[in-house]
Amino acid sequence: MQIPPDGNYVTTGLVLYPKHEQAIDKVLGEVLQKIPARLAIVTGRDGQFIAASGEHTRNVDLVALGSLIAGDMAASHQVARLTGVYEEFQVVLREGRSSHSFVSDAGPHMLLFVQAQGDVPVGWLRLMGMEACRLLARIVESGPDEVDLKTLGLDEKTLADQFESAVAKLWED
């Protein structure tokens, strides 16, 4: 496979271009604001680091954490398969006194990890995390020439609106 000079190859077979990376960074920024979160990390399913944002990015070995996140999700997938509850999108939520964490599939190639303070409701973390995963999956499904932030709904105004519409959908069902 030829990797273009401006692209980054993720070993899951995903090629990310600068526009993909810009869109991923926008989603992570929105996650930090809307949840609010301390840390948000996107990795490949194999643990390869893709992007991170948040106040704790300097305090953590992001490459090591990415590997652990991927291992955690791989183990969760196997548990789900062995117990007959495997779904396309798996979610692992950990609730603690001082912080909560969310890990989920973000499409077929990536994982999203989010750490929030303990006063953030776990349901809110899950809802916003799942919406972010859907947005991240849409980003990488687009070719490099198709990544238009406005068309994907990732410009400044519509990105916030997408998160708000996810909340509004709760009351419609």
Residue spans per domain, the chain: 9-167
pLDDT digits 0-9 by tens, 24-57: 999 999 999 999 999 999 999 889 999 999 988 8
Element (H, E) at 41: strand 37-44
pLDDT for residue 162: 61
Residue % of the chain over a pLDDT of 70: 75
pLDDT digits 0-9 by tens, 126-156: 999 999 999 999 888 877 666 666 655 555 5
Whether residue 67 is predicted with pLDDT greater than 60 in this model: the reply is yes
CB atoms inside a 10 Å sphere around CB 51: 20
Superfamily, domain 9-167? Dynein light chain 2a, cytoplasmic (3.30.450.30)
Whether residue 170 is predicted with pLDDT greater than 80 in this model: the reply is no
Contacts of 78 (CB under 8 A, 6+ apart): none
CB atoms inside a 10 Å sphere around CB 16: 24
